Structure 1
């Protein structure tokens, strides 16, 4: 098997590995799944990551479900890490076994929600079963799009802003060309940066996910219909959102096919700035911001300075607004 392991930022290099997977079911209702690297059979010019025997043990627990024990054992070259992420990556926390368990839990929660017979919204409005399934699939599509767009996988080719701009460590790239019937096509520009904020993850997460406080971090005070998915666990927090056309949302809530809905997700990823118990002082947050926009003035060969200035302004203004709210209590 060939796989890439990555985080929700282009500032952490992806980990690519060839590995073999062996699965076996034991007589006592226990499954074992073990992975081991095969770089000796598929040599790379530079091997920066090896997956030593890793995997999980799955034990049936009556009718209540399963108990999963996960083990991660890797060998990695961490010398080229960005300073902001070095503590959580070099400690093993960023790609830890806890992250696998958290992903499994999220998937199980998604399945439970999708199969629920009755699921009222916070306003007490009942959404039909077909509409709920379509909405969940659209949210899943949006979130996958967001994660695929801003990681450091081999398909994503990132560049940076010139040094004379205010925001540091910005990464940007082109996405696919957006084609909407009746409108001129345009290039999708994806841009992201990360910054450290000395507040706990849960405080920053609650601020950014709530509509009554999130608009404080936006310089444009206009009303827009958004679809948003947010979740948190001990390894990180995510808020992913995208503007929605009212007619498109109406079709989704009535069971429409989410495959035909164009969506450009933006959002936030929050990670602890160090592993729990690592070093002195409280655990703060590393906030990654990522946005998508349609630009009809640039292409893959040329991006005008006006576009670069807009990118810099959006990121710097948003970061300043969030830091003001977090550090000085401007809510």
Structure 2
């Protein structure tokens, strides 16, 4: 997931075509070939970076809080989420893999959120992808996980530093990069529809606005 997310927001490895670049958002597209766990069809990548007037660790804690996801995560269905699995990747509890689900009535959602979090002194990365419950169950009984197509999205948090006392650096807020990857069209259509581009732009705007609103209320 980390590799797929990084190549999406940094436009590396794959051949990306620029669709739109504005002052605050960049939208790219490429053709997914269905290999290495990615879907077939036109894939859109949308990214933006904003300054947040809080420290990186406070921002990370907010984005990791499953109860606060209703502010910014459309998959939460406007409610809190719950963590049903947590696997530490190191003694640092901030580095982990988790499985989340929306708290909705039984039968109203068939999706789980697979999330990978990594943090160190330089910055933090939170990557997540929606996965169908049936596909998770298939992997649990032995199906090859590479056959499960996912498009991870997520966040990169970096400290916003400015020079202080020679070589020292004082942190003043955070730089938050928001990145989304979505499947825009089927394999038989060469270009994304206008509504797909508008939808991913709206998703970026809604997410950033929701994070800011949640932080103010929190």
Pair in the same fold by TM > 0.5: yes
The aligned residue for residue 89 of structure 2 is: none
- Once the two structures are TM-superposed, the CA of residue 266 in structure 1 deviates from its matched residue by 0.7
- Mapped partners of 1:217, 1:161: distance in 2: 24
- Mapped partners of 1:202, 1:293: distance in 2: 28
The aligned residue for residue 294 of structure 1 is: 183
Cα RMSD, aligned residues only: 3.2
Ranked by relative contact order (alpha carbons within 8 Å, sequence separation 6 or more), the top structure is: 2
Runs (4+) of structure 1 exceeding 6 A deviation are 278-281, 297-301
Higher strand share: 2
- Mapped partners of 2:149, 2:6: distance in 1: 16
After superposition, give the CA deviation of every residue in 1:176-234 in whole Å (9 maximum; x if it has no partner).
33659xxx953111111111101110111111122211232134642331110112111
Distance 1:280 1:149, change over 3 A: closer
The aligned residue for residue 149 of structure 2 is: 262
- Mapped partners of 2:48, 2:203: distance in 1: 11
Residue 159 of structure 1 pairs with residue 18 of structure 2? yes
- Mapped partners of 1:312, 1:265: distance in 2: 17
Distance 1:220 1:273, change over 3 A: same
- List alignment gaps of at least 5 residues for structure 1: 1-141
- Confirm or deny: 8 A CA contact 1:188 1:293 kept in the other structure: yes
Aligned residue pairs total 181
The aligned residue for residue 311 of structure 1 is: 200
Match of 1:207 among 47, 62, 66: 62
TM-score (norm 1): 0.48
The aligned residue for residue 50 of structure 2 is: 195
TM-score (norm 2): 0.69
- Confirm or deny: 8 A CA contact 2:128 2:153 kept in the other structure: yes
After superposition, give the CA deviation of every residue in 1:16-53 in whole Å (9 maximum; x if it has no partner).
xxxxxxxxxxxxxxxxxxxxxxxxxxxxxxxxxxxxxx
- Confirm or deny: 8 A CA contact 2:180 2:200 kept in the other structure: no
The aligned residue for residue 9 of structure 1 is: none
Distance 1:150 1:300, change over 3 A: farther
The aligned residue for residue 8 of structure 2 is: 149
User: What is the DSSP-based 3-state SS (H/G/I as helix, E as strand, rest coil) of the residue aligned with 2:161?
Assistant: coil
- Mapped partners of 2:44, 2:214: distance in 1: 28
The aligned residue for residue 128 of structure 1 is: none
- List alignment gaps of at least 5 residues for structure 2: 78-101, 103-110
- Mapped partners of 2:131, 2:25: distance in 1: 27
- Confirm or deny: 8 A CA contact 1:297 1:304 kept in the other structure: no
Residue 238 of structure 1 pairs with residue 156 of structure 2? no
